[in-house]
Structures are given as C-alpha cells and as structure tokens.
Amino acid sequence: MKKNKTYVQLTDRYSAHNYHPLPVVLTQGKGAWVWDVEGNKYLDMLSAYSALNQGHCHPHIVKALNTQAKRLTLTSRAFHNDQMAFFLKKLCALSGYEKALPMNSGAEAVETAIKVARKWGYTKKKVEKDRAEIIVCENNFHGRTTTIVGFSTEAQYRNGFGCFAPGFVTIPYNDPAALEKAINQNTVGFLLEPIQGEGGVVVPDKGYLKEGYKICRKHNVLLIDDEIQTGLGRTGALFACDHEKVRPDIIIVGKALSGGCYPVSAVLCDDHIMNVLKPGDHGSTFGGNPLASAVGIAALEVIKKERLAQRANKLGAWFMKELSTIDSPLIKEVRGRGLLIGVVLKEKARPYCERLMERGILAKETHELVVRFAPPLIISKQELSWALPRIKDVLTG
C-alpha cells in the first residue's frame, strides 16, 4: 500500500506549486466521510469549498452521471441536446428567474455575468461606449481569471499578473453609503458576495443586501449576487440573499450545482437582461453539455427533495452555538450562517487545521487566521457531535 507521502512527493514533482494542500491523499468518499490511501477515515468539513453540499458520491447524482455518460457526453452548442432544456427549466423554476446561461466553472460564470452587465449597460442604459463600470467590494473573491484578480484587493492574487482590465471601482464591504457615493452615470452593476467566504466568512450587517438593492434600483444599476459558494442551501436558504428577501438582478451559481460530480455553473437573470446577448456574443464548448445537464438536474433534485437548505439552517445554528461555547483564549470570534462557519483565531490557522487532520477532521484555513467549517449539508447531528470534542481539543490544547 502506497503512503500519503509517496503521492505528495509525486505531485510536487509534476504539478505546478499553486496550492498548499494538507498532506493527505484521498481515494474514496461517501456522504460526509472520506478515506485516504492509507485507509484513514476523515470527516470532511470543507465540502470542496461548498461544491459537495449533497455529500460525496450521492447515489442519485452518480446514477444520473453514469447513465448519461453511456449515452452522450458532449455536443457543443453547435447543436441542441436532449438534457440542457430540462436542466435550465428546473434551474429557473427553482430560482424564480426567467433565463439561465450555463457555463462550467464559477470563474467562467462570473466573467459571463460581467459581460452581460456591461452589454446591458451599453444596450439598455445607454452608457457611453467602453465607459461601463462595475462596483466591487474590498476583500472579495470571485475567481482567478486575470479580469477577476485585477479587481481583487489581495496583493498575492494580483502580483505578477498585470496589466489588468479597467472598469472596476472598489468600495468597502458592508457599507451602503460607500456604494451610493461610488455610483455614477457609467455604473452598470454592483458585484458582491452575500457572505465573503474566502475572505474569512465575513457576514455583513443585517439589512446590507436590502439596502444595496434599494440603492441599485434608485440608480438603475444591476445587483449581481455571487452565490457560487453561499448558494443552493449552504447558508440555510436556497440563496443567501433569501434571508433578506432580496431578488438580485443577476445571480451566479456553481459548485453544488453539480453535487461535486462535474463542473457546472450558470448565470441567472430575467429575459429583459439576458436578451442583450445575441448568437456569437458568448459561448462555451462544454457549457450546457448533456452530461453536465443530467448531473445538474439530479443535483437540484437532491437539494429540493432532501431539504438541504432547511437542514443547514437548523444544524448550522446548533453547531455554531456549540462552537461558541468553546472556552479558549485562542478564539477571537465564531461567525457564519447555516453551515458556512468561520472560527477566527488570534494566530495563524494552518497548524490547527493540521492538528484537526490528525484527529480525523478535514478543514482548511482561509484568510490566514480563520478555520472554516463547511461540511456537506447531508451531515447528521451525530456526526457533528463526534467532531465537536475533537475541535475543542485542538483549539484548547
């Protein structure tokens, strides 16, 4: 039996060193649990950054994947396929939007939303050519493409990758007054995360999204809500914006849209926005392919049938309360919503994630000082109860 170390060394030899993963090599997963190549069992408390809301290898999604893979995997958008229409219909019905544009990765979907918003600005709002601006927030994380890192405020994400695209204005997060002040005649969109996940699980004040929506309405600006990590049940509602009963103009979804089985993302909006796109304006060879569509249908069915948002709401409130009772001088704050929870430490979180791994829990640091807990939404209270004393032991030991 090969050891974790063997695979890690091989990866280091042949892979670009653009990640710093924990030294564990996974080979099997089921539900909320994974196993490494040495046979050790771990509780997955990261869910592939919320891509695995439905758990590892959910049988309903895997069945759909295998069935479709035997029939037809790819047509490109040069032709229709018999799965995409039903996938988009289900996605629109569940979300309440009139149109969906399927892509693959979350970053692709963000780029797509930016293109849609800009063309809407030129076509519908009549912004002067090449002057459209989109407002973004400090501490944001929307992906890794050059356009997106160009409006990041994280120095490492930008260093060495310029020059960057113009047309983005940065304001503080959780500051409606700054949004109002930044808007001008060229502003076409306000792009934000309802909770900043990679930024450290930063939860804005109650009413922030609602106030942002009102300001956008006042100035004829599109509210663009990145729900790639927070959406599809993670925060205890289908979308995090639902907690404030806000309906953004554009919603971006990904990750759990496939239950972790295949890259699937999409941009959602109503027809009066989406209809600015004409044939040839945008595309993707794999976007909306029959395999992705079949997987997406099954993933959405699991979210609805198993009431994953409701589970996240109930279990998340309980789990966060239990984490808050841990008496440790190391802990600065426990924050989050649903099953997206960050434990903010007073020192670097990486060593504590390594110690959690040694005790059978896989979590990952974010923003250096935060241990993020975001398990699959199918996790049971018993499984979370198993984790709690081990977490307490690491954070108090």
Q: Does residue 70 have an active-site annotation? A: no
Strands 265-269 and 331-337: unpaired
Cβ distance 362 to 341 under 8 Å? no
Query: Smallest Cα–Cα separation from 266: which of 239, 243, 245, 237?
Result: 239
Task: Express the helix, strand and coil content of the chain in percent, nearest 5 each.
Answer: 40, 20, 45
What pairs with residue 34 in β-bridges? Answer: 29, 42
Candidates 87, 141, 319, 373; catalytic one: 141
Going from the C-alpha of 320 to that of each of 46, 313, 326, 338, 389, the distances in angstroms are 15, 11, 10, 8, 14
Q: Does residue 161 have an active-site annotation? A: no
Phi, psi of 66 (to 5 degrees): -65, -40
CB atoms within 10 A of CB 40: 14
Query: Smallest Cα–Cα separation from 248: which of 227, 223, 229?
Result: 223
Q: Does residue 226 have an active-site annotation? A: yes
The two structure tokens encoding residue 397: 């030991």
* Angle, CA of 104, 108 and 109, to the nearest 5°: 85
The two structure tokens encoding residue 266: 């999409």
Candidates 90, 99, 119, 255; catalytic one: 255
Map residue 143 onto helix, strand or coil.
coil
Q: How far apart are CA 251 and CA 191, in angstroms?
A: 10
Q: How far apart are CA 9 and CA 11, in angstroms?
A: 5
Candidates 36, 44, 226, 242; catalytic one: 226
Going from the C-alpha of 52 to that of each of 213, 275, 394, the distances in angstroms are 30, 32, 25
SS3 for 367-381 is CCCEEEECCCCCCCH
What residues are annotated to the active site?
141, 226, 255
